[in-house]
Amino acid sequence: MKQLLLEPCFIFILLVISVTNTPTCLCVDDASYTNCSNAFSCGNNNFNLKYPFWGENRGNYCGGGPNLESEKLTCEAQVPKITINLIKYRVLGWENTSQILKVARDDYWDNNNICVNGDRNSTFDNSPFQ
């Protein structure tokens, strides 16, 4: 008689253990997206730039919008740069908590050249970042 009482209890415990230890999702991360969690790295700058930025060690599937060049980061001579509306900017800083990107026009930065040939409108279009 005692053996019959232990049997349903054992089955119940086994059922509870199997339900609580079963993963809710059985999947494997897509190998092409695993590097999206890595921050953009360039030189000694560790700005922790991630989405929506891409480039160098991060594929365009990590955040590139309709205009793929708009959020693309490049590393030139150990300096992070971003091109927005055909104007290249030097990335000076990134505040992750407030999500403020500090940039300077690269053509003004090089050789302290304030007098640039060919005026260009440098209105910063922030719509890709909203």
The pTM score is 0.62
Integer Cα distance of 39 and 115 in angstroms: 35
Q: Is residue 90 a contact partner of residue 72, using CB atoms and an 8 Å limit?
A: no
For the purposes of burial, counting CB atoms within 10 Å of the CB of 91, is it exposed (0-12), middle (13-18) or buried (19 or more)? buried
Domain encompassing residue 96: 39-117
Domain tally for the chain?
A: 1
In a domain, 23, yes or no: no
Length of the chain: 130
Confidence of residue 62 (pLDDT cuts 50, 70, 90): confident
Distance CA 109, CA 90 (A): 8
* Structural domain contains residue 89: yes
Band (pLDDT 50/70/90 cuts) for residue 16 is confident
Residue 55 lies in a domain: yes
CB 88 within 8 A of CB 107: yes
